[in-house]
A and B are shown apart, each in its own frame.
Chain A
Amino acid sequence: MNAHTDIVAQRATDLAPRTRRLSLGTPSRAGLLLGPGLLLLYWSVLSATGFLDPRILPAPWTALTTAVDLIHQGRLQENLTVSAGRAAAGLAFGAVAGVAMALVSGLSQLGSYVIDGLVQIKRGIPILALIPFMVLWFGIGETMKVTVIATSVFFPIYIQTHSALSAIDLRHVELAETLRLTRWQFVRHIVLPGALPGFLTGLRFGATGAWLALVVVEQLNATSGIGYMVTLARNYAQTDVMLVGLVVYALLGFGSDAVVRLIERRALAWRRTLGQ
């Protein structure tokens, strides 16, 4: 009896010690704020102690008060509306064109010969290198700005959507044939949902590309927009206004990425992946 209890106790203690854990464990959502938080702290300390010349980089609180001032004057929201409008227009045109071209090139042999070959050649040329030509063709007005943004959105969306399209499972195509689906039913129920993950990846790259192109075109003879505000501030050495512009860009980029990721989670609820 006693011996038996001993054995049970022995086994329990044997089982209790676990192996050294080498995996990382469950991450905390707030954990990602640690890095930016530390940087902000470092920056504040340097500014407060006077090590950092405000002409080089203003203090965090200066940026905050400048932002409040700009909002009071109405300059920030005015320029932001203009910039967001340009980005949205470019994103919309680029996305529609990217998806349309990917469908044409993915669903017809001739389309793929014509379009895909051109796109592969164009991939070698950076968008920004096209700006001189864009200015020549479209002038220096809004048309040129939106066209540059749309072009920079078009390529990632086309490439990602097209590659997802070409990766559609042949077995699903066979299924569509045996179920006698019409061309349109095939596109709607198999091609589009199959290409959706690729499209959303392309949209994330595209949104980032749209902000990047926006920064560049708004420094090119603009009279409104965040980029214009920053360029103007640079001329008058208003580092605090320049800093506010930078923060706004960061928030816009981060925000748009978060929106696309939210759409991704909703639209791809049927998927089970490692990251979820």
Chain B
Amino acid sequence: MSPAVSVRGLVRFFTLKGVLNGVDLDIAPGEFVALLGRSGSGKSTLLRALIGIDHEASGGGEVHVPQRTSVIFQDARLLPWMRVLDNVVLGLRGADVRERGRQALAETGLGGREHAWPHELSGGEQQRVALARALVRQPQLLLADEPFGALDALTRVRMHALLRRLSDVHDPAILLVTHDVDEAILLADRIVMLDRGRLGLDMPIALPAAAPTRQDYVGSVRETLLRQLDASPA
């Protein structure tokens, strides 16, 4: 099967300072990849290159992403002048889009809130609307830029479970940018790390089902990841 995402020799620089110096990355269909890296390592630059919104950047390289790609930003990025359902189906055409939007909201646990204004929702609820807006487009690839970074710990745990469940149902390829090591271990099938503008570590994750071995496993992986992060210069 051909990969969902294929990146070869991606280079990006801003004002002569190299941010990405030749990134190669493949993501298989349905694969959940977490992208770790220190702040300033170029995580967001890579993501913006994949989304194709880095109009100002210069560089080169090959990027292939699927036709249907959805994005979740760190902020929910809802239009404040549109009710929740209109935000979810924004830009979609067709007779049944509102029904599909309703279903997507129900899936993210927001059934019944279709006519609320965004400012009436909590931060976690707004991010769930953003998730519904991404899923209603039936993405083959879901790109997420620290989507849970602004949420409180309790809400974040709930969002992890929701994302895991929905990714099992819809099965898109996912690239999750995060700086949270535990989040990456918990959610991803594979963790890649950006270091000095290149992908360094590339580590498959196989989380055991039984709780005690799971603890040990998480502990050892976390140690490896943190050591890698420390090794890269600030």
Question: Do these two chains really belong together in a complex?
Answer: yes
Please tell me which one of the listed residues B51, B77, B79 contacts residue A193 in the complex, with CB atoms under 8 A apart. Answer: B79
User: Contacts A171-B75, A270-B117; is A179 near B80 (CB within 8 Å)?
Assistant: no
User: Contacts A177-B53, A178-B53, A178-B71; is A270 near B91 (CB within 8 Å)?
Assistant: no
B90 at the interface (CB under 8 A from A): yes
Q: Which chain A residues lie closer than 8 Å to B118 at the CB level?
A: 270
User: Contacts A177-B53, A178-B53; is A172 near B91 (CB within 8 Å)?
Assistant: no
Closest chain B residue to A269, Cβ basis:
B117
Q: Which chain A residues lie closer than 8 Å to B77 at the CB level?
A: 171-172, 174-175
A271 at the interface (CB under 8 A from B): yes
**Could you mark each residue 170-210 of chain A with 1 if its beta carbon is under 8 Å from any beta carbon of chain B, else 0?**
01101111111110010001100110100000000000000
Closest chain A residue to B117, Cβ basis:
A270
B82 at the interface (CB under 8 A from A): yes
Q: Which of B123-141 contact A (CB under 8 A)?
A: 133
Interface size on A (CB < 8 Å)? 21
Closest chain B residue to A180, Cβ basis:
B91
**Residue in A171, A185, A189, A196 whose Cβ sees the most chain B Cβ within 10 Å:** A189
A272 at the interface (CB under 8 A from B): yes
Q: Which chain B residues lie closer than 8 Å to A269 at the CB level?
A: 117
Docked pose: A175 CA to B74 CA in angstroms: 12
Docked pose: A175 CA to B133 CA in angstroms: 11
User: Contacts A171-B73, A179-B90; is A189 near B79 (CB within 8 Å)?
Assistant: yes
CB–CB A193/B81 < 8 A: yes
CB–CB A179/B91 < 8 A: yes
CB–CB B75/A189 < 8 A: no
Decide if the interface of chain B is mainly helix, strand, loop or mixed: loop
Docked pose: A105 CA to B77 CA in angstroms: 26
Q: Which chain B residues lie closer than 8 Å to A171 at the CB level?
A: 73, 75, 77
CB–CB B53/A174 < 8 A: yes
CB–CB B91/A181 < 8 A: yes
Docked pose: A176 CA to B78 CA in angstroms: 11
Q: Smallest CB–CB gap between B126 and chain A, Å?
A: 13
Docked pose: A174 CA to B71 CA in angstroms: 10
**Residue in B70, B71, B90, B91 whose Cβ sees the most chain A Cβ within 10 Å:** B91
CB–CB B81/A178 < 8 A: no
**Could you mark each residue 211-239 of chain A with 1 if its beta carbon is under 8 Å from any beta carbon of chain B, else 0?**
00000000000000000000000000000
B214 at the interface (CB under 8 A from A): no
B160 at the interface (CB under 8 A from A): no
Q: Which chain A residues lie closer than 8 Å to B90 at the CB level?
A: 179, 181, 189
Q: Which of B167-183 contact A (CB under 8 A)?
A: none
CB–CB A270/B73 < 8 A: no
The 4 closest A-B pairs by CB, nearest first: A193-B81, A179-B91, A178-B71, A181-B91
Not counting A174-B77, A178-B51, A182-B91, a sample of 8 additional A-B residue pairs whose C-beta atoms are within 8 angstroms of each other reads: A172-B77, A172-B79, A175-B73, A178-B53, A178-B70, A190-B79, A193-B79, A193-B82
Of the A-B pairs whose beta carbons lie under 8 Å apart in the complex, a sample of 29, sorted by A's number, is A171-B73, A171-B75, A171-B77, A172-B77, A174-B73, A175-B73, A176-B91, A177-B51, A177-B52, A177-B53, A178-B53, A178-B70, A178-B71, A179-B90, A179-B133, A180-B91, A181-B91, A189-B82, A189-B90, A189-B91, A190-B79, A194-B81, A269-B117, A270-B80, A270-B82, A270-B117, A270-B118, A270-B119, A271-B80
